[in-house]
C-alpha cells in the first residue's frame, strides 16, 4: 500500500544521510530520510568525535587533508553548538620514526594546515599528562564534534526547509518497474506496519550497510565494513586533541569531549556491519599504544568501550582496512548499471560530510531539473539560542547546565523547556547530574514523535552518557519518560523493561573493560538494581 | 603504642558485627573505620539467601543454605554459626530498641523502591512488605519533590506483582519544601522527625487510612530507629510499610546508628578515618596494621585481626589489570577466575551468577586465607563479609547474611 511519497528518499540516518537531506532541502527539493533505528546509531556516533584538521592525512592523502581543513573551518563557523572549538597536538615519543616528521610538516604546509612546533616544556605545560618520553610536539587546528548533536541539527535545519525524516523505518524492498525505481517498501520497526513510499530518486546513504541496500536492487557495491574500537575515559585527560605523530596506526588519537576522553581506534575488516562487539585484546592493544602518549593511562577509570564500522569503499581488486581510502564515491546507477532513479554514496568521513553531500547533490539535483546552488556552508546549522532565553533559564537550573541544555535543545525547544521549569518547579529536578539534564528536558524530548525508549531520549539529551553511565538516571528517566512515549519500542513496553534495556545497553560497553575502577562501578550498579530494586521481579 | 586483643578493619556491617561479637567474648577490640561501608546502599535488611543457583526464589533460607556449593562462604561457615549469628544480631538490635522481624525458616517480602518484591530474611518492623499480601487496598504515598521515588512506577510494578484484585491508590504528600535543591529520603525523614513535619504528613494521609489497607511509603519514617514507625502505625490504625530505597538509604543509616550505639556500650574503640594501608608480618603471623589519614600512619598492634574491608565496591579487593586481583591490606590469596569467556555475563540482569563477582579471598573453614594447596597463610588473620570469595551476593541476595555469619564465626574463632 502506498502511504507516502517524496521526490527523493534518502536511506540512512548517519552523517552522510542527514547532510544530503539538509542539502537537498535547502535547494528546494522535496526529500524524506528514512532510518531503520534511531538517528545516528551507526558509525556517525560510534567514532572519536574528532573534527579533523587534516593533518592525519597530510602525508598519504593530501586531497583528503585539504578537504578536511576546509570543512573544519566551515563547521567551526556553522556548527557552533555541536563543535567544541579546541585545538590539537601531534606528538612524537621515543621510539617513533623521526624521519616521518619532515614530510609530515611539509604535507601539512602544502595542504594549507597551520602547524606550530612546541618546545617540550611548552607542550608539557599545556598538557601536563603527556608522556615524559615526548620527543617533539606540534599544534594543529583539530577540534571535537558531537556526532549526535551535529546530525540532529542537520535534520532540524532540513526540517525548516521542508525536509522530512522517519526513524525506525527500515527499507525492506526496492520496487523497480521497467528499469527505474518506482517506490520502496518499508517496515515501521515500532508498529511493525509495512507500506510503500513512492519516489523519483532513491539515495543509498546507508554507510557500511550500503552494500546490502544495493543488493536489494540487484546491484553490486563493494563496501568493506571496517570496525573501529574506541575507549571512553571518565575525565578529560587533555584539553586538546592529541594525535601520535607517526604513520597513521591504531590507537593514535585522544579526543576530549565535555567531561570525558575518547581513545581510538582499531581498524578490523568485518563481514557484518551490525557487529559492534569488542574484546579484551582490542582493548589491550589500544591501552598499550595509548600509554605511549599518556603514561598513567591505566589509572583512569574506563567508562566504556564501543565500536562502529566505517563504510570504506573498496574499488574492485583493492585493499580494505587501514590502507583503503577515506575518500568517498558517488555512484549513479543509471550510468553504472542502467538502473534509473537510484544513486549510492559510499565511503568518506565524518569531518567532510557536508562537502560529500554538496558534491553528491550537484550530480543529483540537475536530474530533477534543479539548478540551485549549494548553500549549506553559508548558513548556521541551528540559530543560536538568545542570551535573553539563557538568562531566563539561569533562574531555574544550574548555570553550568544552561549552555549545555541550550545547545542540545535549540531555539524552539529551549524556551519551551524554560517555561516548563518556571511554571512547574518539580520539573527542575536534575535527572542526570553528569550531563545536567532536567526532568523538564527529558519530558520534552520524550514527547518527540521519534522517541520510543529511554535510549532514544539518551541520544538526544546525553542522559546516561556521563561518568555514572546511567546508574542514577536509569530509574529516573524510565519513570518519567516511559509513560510519555506515544509508541513504545518492542521490549520497552513498561518502565521496568525500558529501564533494564537502558542499563543493558550501557552494560554492553562495560563488559570488555571489567577491571580496575570499572569493577567498582559494576558492583554498585548490581547492588542497586539487582539487590535493592530486584528488577528481575520477586517470586520467580 | 597500644595493643588490642582484636583489630577489626572495616566498618561496614561485617566489621561492626565482628567487633560486637569479639567484644562479647570479652576481648579488647579496636575498629579501624573508613567510609560508611555499604549501609547507605543496602537498605539495612539482612538477606540470607533469596535465590538459589538456578535463580529460583528460596522459600526456606536455612534449608537452602545447607545445600550451597563447596566454594560458597556458607559452606565454610556452617549452619550452626549462621543460626547463632542471627540470634546474636536480633538480640543486639532488640536491646537497642530497634527489633528485626523474621527467621531463617521463611522469607520476608519487601516492596522495593520500583514496586517489585524482594525476599529478605530479617527486616525492621517498618519494612514488612508481606503485609501487602492480605490488604485489599494499597495506598501508595509519593512525596512532592522527592528524588528517586516515582510513585506511579511503584504502583505500576506492584500491581503486576500483587495482582489487580487489589485497589491501588496514589496519594501525593506535599512537604511544603521551599528550598532550591532536590529532596532525598533522608531530608524527608528528618522532616518526619520533627513534630510539625510528622503532623503535617499524617494530616495529608489520614483520610486514606483504614481497615484492610496498607500505607506504602518511601524510606521516610524518621532517622531514629522505629520511633516514628510506632507512632504512625498507632495513629493511622493500619499497617505502614516502607520500601527499599536508592542511596542514601535511611534504614541503612538507622541500622548503622543502632550498631554504633551498641559498640559504644561495649567499650569498643572506634578509630575514625583510619584507612588500613599495610600490615606488619612476622613469620606466619600479623603483628600490626598501619592505618591513618593522608599524612602519617599509626600502628595498631593486636593478637588477632579481622579483615572486613569489603569487595570491589568498598575497595577491599582491587584489580588494576585483568587477572591481578589483590586483597589490599594483608595481600591474602585471592581466588579469581579471570578468563575472558567466563568473566562477565553479556546480560547484566542474567539468569546465572557473574564470575567476576565471586572474586575474593580464598579461605578455609576457619575463615583464614589459604594458598592454593589449602595451607593457612597468616594464622591470626580472619576474613569476613564481601572480602570472601565464592559467592555472588547480588544474584543470590545474600550480602548481609554472609557478612553477619562470617563476622560471627571469625570473631568466635
Per residue, what are the HEC states of A285-303? Answer: HHHHHHHCCCCCHHHCCEE
Mutate which of A425, A431, A525, A530 to test chain B, going by most B C-beta atoms within 10 A?
Answer: A530
Q: Which residue of A has its CA nearest to B351?
A: A536
Model confidence band, residue B342 (pLDDT cutoffs 50, 70, 90):
very high
pLDDT digits 0-9 by tens, B214-267: 999 999 999 999 999 999 999 999 999 999 999 989 999 999 999 999 999 999
Q: Report ipTM for this prediction.
A: 0.96
Question: What residues in A contact B343, CB-CB < 8 Å?
Answer: 514
Residues of B in contact with A537 (CB under 8 A): 116-117, 161
Helix (H, G, I), strand (E, B) or coil at A456: helix
**Helix ranges (DSSP H) in B206-273:** 227-236, 250-265
In whole angstroms, what is the distance from residue B198 CA to residue A229 CA?
A: 55
- Better pLDDT: B149 or B40: B149
Of A270, A343, A351, give the one whose Cα is nearest residue A311: A270
B311 at interface of A, judged by CB pairs closer than 8 A: yes
Q: Name the band, by pLDDT with cuts 50, 70 and 90, for residue A324.
A: low
Predicted confidence (pLDDT) per residue in A467-498, tens digit? 888 999 999 999 999 999 999 999 999 999 99
Q: Are A390 and A89 in contact (CB under 8 A)?
A: no
Pairing of strands B360-361, B108-111: unpaired
Sequence-ordered strand ranges (E) for A314-453:
328-332, 342-347, 430-432, 437-438
Assigned CATH class of B101-248? alpha beta
% chain A with pLDDT above 70: 98
More confident residue, A329 or B407: B407
- pLDDT for A418: 94
Residue of A495, A511, A515 lying closest to B321 (CB–CB): A515
Is A479 within 8 Å of B150 when comparing Cβ atoms?
A: yes
Under 8 Å between Cβ of A244 and A252: yes
DSSP state of A453: S
pLDDT at A103: 97
Instruction: Find out whether A431 and A454 touch, Cβ atoms under 8 Å.
Output: no
Q: Is B322 on the interface with A (CB under 8 A)?
A: yes
pLDDT number for residue A328:
87
- What distance lies between CA A37 and its chain's CA centroid? 14
A537 close to B (CB below 8 A): yes
**Integer Rg of chain B from CA:** 22
Task: Tell me which of B360 and B145 has the higher pLDDT.
Answer: B360
- List, in sequence order, the alpha helices (H) in B194-299: 195-205, 227-236, 250-265
The residues, ordered by sequence, that sit 6+ positions from A423 with a Cβ below 8 Å of its Cβ are none
Vertex A432: Cα angle to A429 and A437 (nearest 5)? 70
Question: How far is A500 from B153, CA to CA, in rounded Å?
Answer: 14
- Helix, strand, or coil here: B143? strand
The reply to whether residue B147 touches residue A483, judged by beta carbons under 8 angstroms, is no
For the cut 70, the answer to whether the pLDDT of residue B288 exceeds it is yes
Chain A environment of B354 (Cβ under 8 Å):
526
> B38 pLDDT band (50/70/90 cuts)?
confident
Residue A422's pLDDT is what?
Answer: 92
Does A429 contact B182 at a Cβ distance shorter than 8 Å? yes
Which residues pair with residue B281 across a beta bridge?
B286
Are B92 and B257 within 8 A, CB to CB?
Answer: no
Q: Strand B137-143 vs strand B167-173: parallel, antiparallel, or unpaired?
A: parallel
All residues of chain B having their beta carbon less than 8 Å from the beta carbon of residue A478 are 153
Comparison of pLDDT for B180 and A428, the residue scoring more: A428
A315 at interface of B, judged by CB pairs closer than 8 A: no
Q: What span, in angstroms and rounded, lies between the C-alpha atoms of A66 and A464?
A: 37
Q: Which of residues 429-468 of A touch B (CB under 8 A)?
A: 429-430
Each residue's pLDDT tens digit, A190-205: 999 999 999 999 999 9
Supply angle C-alpha B350, B74, B19, rounded to 5: 115
Closest CA to B239 of B135, B152, B142, B150: B135
pLDDT band with cut points at 50, 70 and 90 for residue B322: confident
**Band of residue B392 on the pLDDT scale cut at 50, 70, 90:** very high
Q: What is the mean pLDDT of residues B78-86?
A: 97
Residue of A nearest to B143 (CA): A426
Instruction: Compute the nearest-CA separation of A511 from chain B (Å).
Output: 6
Q: Which pLDDT band, with edges at 50, 70 and 90, does A317 fall under?
A: low
- Count how many pairs of residues, chain A against chain B, have C-beta atoms within 8 Å: 155
| pTM summary value | 0.93
Whether the CB of A491 is below 8 Å from some CB of chain B: the reply is: no
Question: CA-to-CA distance for B230 and A310, rounded, in angstroms?
Answer: 64
What DSSP assignment string belongs to B43-72? TT-B-S--B-TTSPBPS-HHHHHTT--TTS
Common-topology check for domains A2-43+148-222+326-367 and A84-143+225-312? no
pLDDT bin (cut points 50, 70, 90) of residue A321 is low
Which candidate from B152, B348, B397 shows the least CB-CB separation from A507?
B348
Rounded to a whole number of angstroms, the distance from the CA of A436 to the nearest CA of chain B is 13
Exposed / middle / buried, residue B278 (Cβ in 10 Å: 0-12, 13-18, 19+):
middle
Question: Cβ separation of B349 and A476 shorter than 8 Å?
Answer: no
Residue of B nearest to A539 (CA): B57
- How many whole angstroms from its chain centre is CA B66? 21
Q: May I ask the CATH architecture of the domain A2-43+148-222+326-367?
A: 3-Layer(bba) Sandwich (3.50)
More confident residue, A326 or A523: A523
Taking domain B3-99+254-412, whether its CATH number is 3.50.50.60 is answered by yes
Q: A 502-521 residues with CB below 8 A of B?
A: 503-504, 507-508, 511, 514-516, 519-520
The CATH architecture to which A84-143+225-312 belongs is: 2-Layer Sandwich (3.30)
CA-nearest residue to A495 within chain B is B153
3-class secondary structure, B293:
coil
Query: Above 70 in pLDDT, residue A540?
Result: no
Span A397-446, pLDDT tens digits: 777 889 999 999 999 999 999 999 999 988 999 999 988 999 999 999 99
Cβ-defined contact of A514 to B344 (cutoff 8 Å): yes
pLDDT of residue A96: 96
**Mean pLDDT across the stretch A445-474?**
93
Please answer yes or no on whether B113 and A533 come within 8 Å at the CB atom: yes
Q: Is B195 on the interface with A (CB under 8 A)?
A: no
pLDDT for B350: 87
B321 part of contact set with chain A, CB < 8 Å: yes
The alpha carbon of residue B34 is apart from the nearest alpha carbon of chain A, in Å, by: 17
Residue A322 clears pLDDT 80, i.e. is over it = no
A527 touches chain B (CB under 8 A): yes
| Chain-centroid distance, C-alpha A298 | 26
Q: Closest Cα partner for A149 from A235, A257, A253?
A: A257
What would the mean pLDDT of B113-131 be, rounded to a whole number?
Answer: 97
Q: Nearest-CA neighbor of B237 among B213, B253, B273?
A: B213
Q: Which residue has the higher pLDDT, A269 or B376?
A: B376
Asked whether the predicted pLDDT for residue B279 surpasses 60, the reply is yes
User: In this model, does residue A522 exceed pLDDT 70?
Assistant: yes
Please answer whether residues A153 and A380 qualify as being in contact, where contact means their C-beta atoms are separated by less than 8 angstroms. no
Which pLDDT value is given to residue A397? 79
Average pLDDT value for residue range B279-285: 97
Amino acid at each position: 500500500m502506498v502511504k507516502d511519497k517524496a521526490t527523493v528518499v534518502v536511506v540512512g540516518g548517519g552523517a552522510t544521510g542527514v547532510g544530503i537531506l539538509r542539502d537537498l532541502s535547502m535547494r528546494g527539493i522535496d526529500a524524506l530520510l528514512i532510518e531503520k533505528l534511531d538517528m545516528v546509531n551507526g558509525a556517525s556516533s560510534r567514532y572519536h568525535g574528532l573534527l579533523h584538521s587534516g593533518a592525519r592525512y597530510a602525508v598519504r592523502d593530501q586531497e583528503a587533508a585539504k578537504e578536511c581543513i576546509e570543512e573544519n573551518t566551515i563547521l567551526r563557523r556553522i556548527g557552533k553548538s555541536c563543535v567544541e572549538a579546541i585545538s590539537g597536538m601531534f606528538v612524537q615519543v621515543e621510539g617513533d620514526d623521526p624521519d616521518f616528521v619532515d614530510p609530515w610538516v611539509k604535507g601539512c604546509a602544502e595542504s594549507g594546515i597551520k602547524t606550530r612546533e612546541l618546545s617540550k616544556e611548552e607542550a608539557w605545560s599545556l598538557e601536563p599528562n603527556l608522556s615524559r618520553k615526548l620527543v617533539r610536539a606540534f599544534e594543529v587546528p583539530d577540534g571535537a564534534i558531537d556526532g549526535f548533536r551535529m546530525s540532529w541539527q542537520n535534520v532540524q535545519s532540513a526540517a525548516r526547509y521542508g525536509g522530512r525524516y522517519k526513524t525506525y523505518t527500515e527499507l525492506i524492498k526496492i520496487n523497480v518497474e521497467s528499469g527505474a525505481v518506482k517506490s520502496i517498501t518499508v517496515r515501521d520497526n515500532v508498529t511493525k506496519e509495512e507500506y510503500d513510499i513512492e519516489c523519483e530518486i532513491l539515495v543509498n546513504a546507508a554507510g557500511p550497510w550500503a552494500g546490502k541496500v544495493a543488493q536489494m536492487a540487484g546491484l553490486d557495491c563493494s563496501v568493506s565494513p571496517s570496525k573501529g574500537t574506541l575507549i571512553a575515559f571518565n575525565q578529560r585527560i587533555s584539553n586538546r586533541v592529541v594525535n601520535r605523530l607517526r604513520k597513521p596506526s591504531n590507537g593514535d588519537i585522544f579526543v576530549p569531549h565535555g567531561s570525558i576522553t575518547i581513545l581510538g581506534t582499531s581498524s578490523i575488516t568485518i563481514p557484518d556491519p551490525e557487529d559492534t562487539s569488542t574484546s579484551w585484546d582490542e582493548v589491550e592493544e589500544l591501552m598499550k599504544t595509548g600509554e605511549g602518549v599518556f603514561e598513567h593511562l591505566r589509572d583512569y577509570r574506563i567508562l566504556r568501550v564501543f565500536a562502529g564500522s566505517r563504510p570504506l569503499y573498496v574499488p574492485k581488486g583493492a585493499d580494505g582496512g587501514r590502507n583503503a581510502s577515506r575518500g568517498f564515491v558517488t555512484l549513479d546507477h543509471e550510468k553504472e548499471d542502467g538502473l534509473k532513479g537510484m544513486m549510492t554514496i559510499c565511503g568518506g568521513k565524518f569531518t567532510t560530510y557536508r562537502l560529500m553531500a554538496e558534491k553528491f547533490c550537484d550530480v543529483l539535483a540537475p536530474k530533477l531539473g534543479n539548478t540551485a546552488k549549494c548553500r549549506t556552508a553559508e548558513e548556521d546549522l541551528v540559530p543560536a539560542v538568545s542570551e535573553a532565553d539563557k538568562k531566563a533559564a539561569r533562574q531555574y537550573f544550574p548555570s553550568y547546565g544552561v549552555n549545555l541544555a541550550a545547545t542540545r535543545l535549540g531555539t524552539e525547544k529551549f524556551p519551551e523547556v524554560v517555561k516548563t521549569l518556571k511554571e512547574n518547579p518539580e520539573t527542575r529536578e536534575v535527572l542526570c547530574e553528569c550531563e545536567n539534564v532536567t526532568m523538564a528536558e527529558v519530558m520534552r524530548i520524550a514527547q518527540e514523535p521519534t522517541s520510543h525508549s529511554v535510549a532514544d531520549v539518551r541520544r538526544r539529551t546525553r542522559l546516561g552518557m556521563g561518568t555514572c553511565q546511567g546508574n542514577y538516571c536509569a530509574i529516573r528517566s524510565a519513570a518519567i519518560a516511559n509513560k510519555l512515549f506515544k509508541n513504545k519500542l518492542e521490549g520497552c513496553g513498561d518502565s521496568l523493561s525500558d529501564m533494564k534495556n537502558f542499563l543493558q545497553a550501557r552494560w554492553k560497553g562495560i563488559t570488555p573493560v571489567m577491571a580496575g575502577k570499572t569493577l567498582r562501578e559494576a558492583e554498585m550498579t548490581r547492588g542497586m538494581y539487582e539487590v535493592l530494586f530486584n528488577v528481575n521481579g520477586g517470586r520467580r | 603504642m597500644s595493643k588490642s586483643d582484636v583489630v577489626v578493619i572495616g566498618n561496614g556491617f561485617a566489621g561492626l558485627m565482628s567487633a560486637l561479637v569479639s567484644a562479647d567474648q570479652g576481648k579488647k577490640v579496636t575498629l579501624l573505620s573508613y567510609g560508611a561501608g555499604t549501609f547507605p546502599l543496602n537498605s539495612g535488611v539482612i538477606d540470607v539467601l533469596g535465590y538459589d543457583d538456578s535463580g529460583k526464589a528460596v522459600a526456606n533460607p536455612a534449608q537452602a543454605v545447607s545445600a550451597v556449593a563447596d566454594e560458597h562462604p556458607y559452606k565454610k561457615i556452617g549452619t550452626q554459626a549462621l543460626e547463632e549469628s542471627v540470634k546474636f544480631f536480633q538480640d543486639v538490635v532488640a536491646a537497642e530498641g530497634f527489633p528485626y522481624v523474621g527467621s531463617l525458616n521463611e522469607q520476608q517480602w519487601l516492596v522495593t523502591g520500583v514496586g517489585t518484591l524482594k525476599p529478605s530474611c530479617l527486616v525492621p518492623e517498618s519494612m514488612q512488605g508481606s503485609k501487602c499480601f492480605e490488604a485489599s487496598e494499597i495506598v501508595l504515598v509519593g512525596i512532592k519533590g522527592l528524588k528517586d521515588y516515582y510513585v506511579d512506577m511503584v504502583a505500576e510494578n506492584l500491581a503486576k506483582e500483587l495482582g489487580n484484585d487489589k485497589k491501588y491508590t496514589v496519594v501525593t504528600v506535599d512537604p511544603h519544601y521551599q528550598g532550591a535543591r532536590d529532596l532525598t529520603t533522608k531530608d524527608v525523614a528528618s522532616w518526619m522527625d520533627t513534630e510539625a513535619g510528622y503532623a503535617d504528613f499524617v494530616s495529608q494521609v489520614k483520610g486514606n487510612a483504614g481497615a484492610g489497607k496498607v500505607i506504602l511509603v518511601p524510606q521516610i519514617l524518621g532517622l531514629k530507629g522505629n520511633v516514628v514507625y510506632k507512632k504512625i502505625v498507632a495513629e493511622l490504625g493500619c499497617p505502614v510499610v516502607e520500601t527499599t530505597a536508592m542511596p542514601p538509604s535511611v534504614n541503612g543509616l538507622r541500622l548503622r546508628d543502632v550498631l554504633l550505639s551498641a559498640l559504644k556500650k561495649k567499650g569498643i574503640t572506634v578509630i575514625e578515618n583510619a584507612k588500613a594501608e599495610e600490615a606488619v608480618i612476622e613469620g606466619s603471623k600479623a603483628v600490626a596494621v598501619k592505618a591513618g589519614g593522608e599524612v602519617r600512619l599509626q600502628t595498631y598492634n593486636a593478637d588477632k585481626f579481622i579483615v572486613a574491608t569489603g569487595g570491589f565496591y568498598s575497595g577491599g579487593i582491587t584489580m588494576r589489570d585483568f587477572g591481578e586481583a589483590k586483597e589490599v591490606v594483608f595481600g591474602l590469596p585471592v581466588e579469581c577466575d579471570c578468563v575472558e569467556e567466563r568473566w562477565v555475563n553479556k546480560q547484566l540482569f542474567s539468569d546465572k551468577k557473574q564470575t567476576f563477582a565471586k572474586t575474593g579471598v580464598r579461605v578455609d573453614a576457619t575463615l583464614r586465607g589459604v594458598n592454593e594447596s589449602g595451607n593457612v597463610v597468616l594464622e591470626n588473620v580472619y576474613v569476613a563479609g564481601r572480602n570472601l570469595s565464592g559467592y555472588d551476593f547480588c544474584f543470590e541476595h545474600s550480602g548481609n547474611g554472609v557478612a553477619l555469619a562470617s563476622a560471627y564465626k571469625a570473631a568466635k574463632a
